[in-house]
Amino acid sequence: MRRRSQLHETLGWLLLTLAVFLSTLPDLAAESRGVKRVEIKTAAGEAIGLYEQSHALVIGVSAYEHWPKLPGVKRDVTDVAAALEKNGFSVQTVLDPDQHMLDDAFEGFIEEHGGNPENRLLFYFAGHGHTVQPKFGGEPLGYLVPIDAPVPTLG
């Protein structure tokens, strides 16, 4: 249970990082048109770098055992990985992971790159998701669906 809680917390941080990254896309587009980026400086005039390293974990699940197959996922993963690499990210891709492989991918990625607060981490998932309403109230919980997940029963 603790491992699942840690995974949810990690996913939350990764989704927040994704939101921050997406908010920078207009700046990246502006740079490609020759617009210069404004440098951030301290009160003493020293330039502050934004990130030491940029790492992305790109996961795609298409060949599901029990859920409908998603034929476009492999191309999505390839295209997203290429776009991230073009923008300076070191990219790790994982295709069609089962639950164990998905957990290991997240844990390994965070262990390898998450210890440095100066790193920028991005997570991208192409595949099915599932939302569950907790039995005792609270906000709905969203889950990523690995290749071996059973289809939840309705009702």
pLDDT in tens, 76-105: 999 999 999 998 899 999 999 999 999 999
What pLDDT score does 143 carry? 92
* Two tokens, residue 2: 């603790």
pLDDT score of 127 more than 60: yes
The pTM score is 0.67
Average predicted confidence (pLDDT) for the chain: 83
Least confident among 21-25, 33-37, 87-91, 99-103 = 33-37
> What is the spatial distance between Cα 11 and Cα 31, in angstroms, rounded to a whole number?
30
Separation between Cα atoms, residue 130 and residue 152, nearest integer Å: 9
Domains located in the chain, CATH noted: 2-144 (3.40.50)
- Neighbouring C-alpha atoms within 13 Å toward the C-beta of 2: 0
